Chains A and B, each alone.
Chain A
Amino acid sequence: MTIDSIPLQAFLIVSSLLFCIGIWGLLNSRNAVRVLMSIELMLNAVNINLMAFSAYIDNNLIQGQVFTIFVITVAAAEAAVGLAILLSLYRNRVTVDMESFNLLKW
């Protein structure tokens, strides 16, 4: 990365925006599938952060890229298990409305 390249802050701001949009979707979605999508958005925001820091600050060892690969792995596992839980939940309750999953409500 040369000095006259895109500033690091641009990547960080995009990632902050994506993260906040993900949190908003996580809190406000009533469809359980959309909640899982929001989690994926947040994980992607974290990945952009890791990649930007790896390219600008640690550009020789690029440990951030290795971390990103691990995050991608964990996200794939999370999506598989999350959607399986969603399927069995749907089989028991016949709905995907988050407001109706209140069995553990205090």
Chain B
Amino acid sequence: MSIALTTQLICFSVLALIIVIGSLGVILLENIVYSAFLLGGVFMSVAGLYLLLNASFVAAAQVLVYVGAVNVLILFAIMLVNKKESLKPKEYLNSRKLISTLICITLLSLLVRVDLSKVWNIANPESSIGEEATVRIGEHLFSDYLLPFEVASVLLLMAMIGAIVLARRDVMSEDISTGLPVKQELIEKSNEQILIEKN
């Protein structure tokens, strides 16, 4: 990349700061809508990191898929399940929070230690493909990664059909045996609250 090192460092620091603070906000903020929008910001900053790494195609895919599809889907889900509820306090939650914080800090220190102590053999920068990365990805997808590419298309189709099957309500306009119009209230009633605890 032909950008000066200082500029790269400034960009990297700003993006890393947005990523870390934004993701902390995603998991800590009370209001779930703020979390969703911060998640979009985190995704955008990750796309910026990809641009710093000379990967313009993956950065575009990140913006399109994560910000354009996943984040919007999450916002729609928040809208559909938006119910203000006062969560019942559980006595074991505090100890769980403590233990999981300890585990996360331990895991983080372990990962950082490995990151810093391992000597990676950095490839010769002369062999870098640079801006030709998109062409090389296309070559990969249609030669040695052809089978995973096709399997991914089947996976997307399965996910699409599965999501429709799982999320839709059974609405019938007419009875199959008699041909008469169906009372919609009965279907609504039968769909409600099957598993709610009776207490």
Binding site for B on A (CB under 8 A): 1-6, 8-14, 16-25, 27-34, 36-38, 40-41, 44, 47-48, 51-52, 54-63, 65-66, 68-70, 72-81, 83-88, 90-97, 99, 103
Contacts of B9 in A (CB 8 A): 6
Cβ-closest chain A residue relative to B27: A25
Cβ-closest chain B residue relative to A98: B87
Main secondary structure of the interface of A (DSSP, over half): helix
- Please determine whether B70 and A75 come into contact, CB atoms closer than 8 angstroms: yes
Q: A33-B32, A37-B74, A57-B120 are in contact. Are A5 and B5 (CB under 8 A)?
A: yes
Partner of B27, one of A9, A38, A59, A99: A38
* Contacts beyond the supplied A38-B26, A61-B136: 9 A-B pairs with Cβ under 8 Å: A2-B125, A23-B100, A34-B32, A59-B127, A65-B137, A77-B159, A80-B163, A81-B159, A83-B167
Q: How many residues of B contact A (CB 8 A)?
A: 91
Partner of A41, one of B23, B50, B85, B163: B23
Q: Flag whether B173 is at the interface (Cβ < 8 A).
A: no
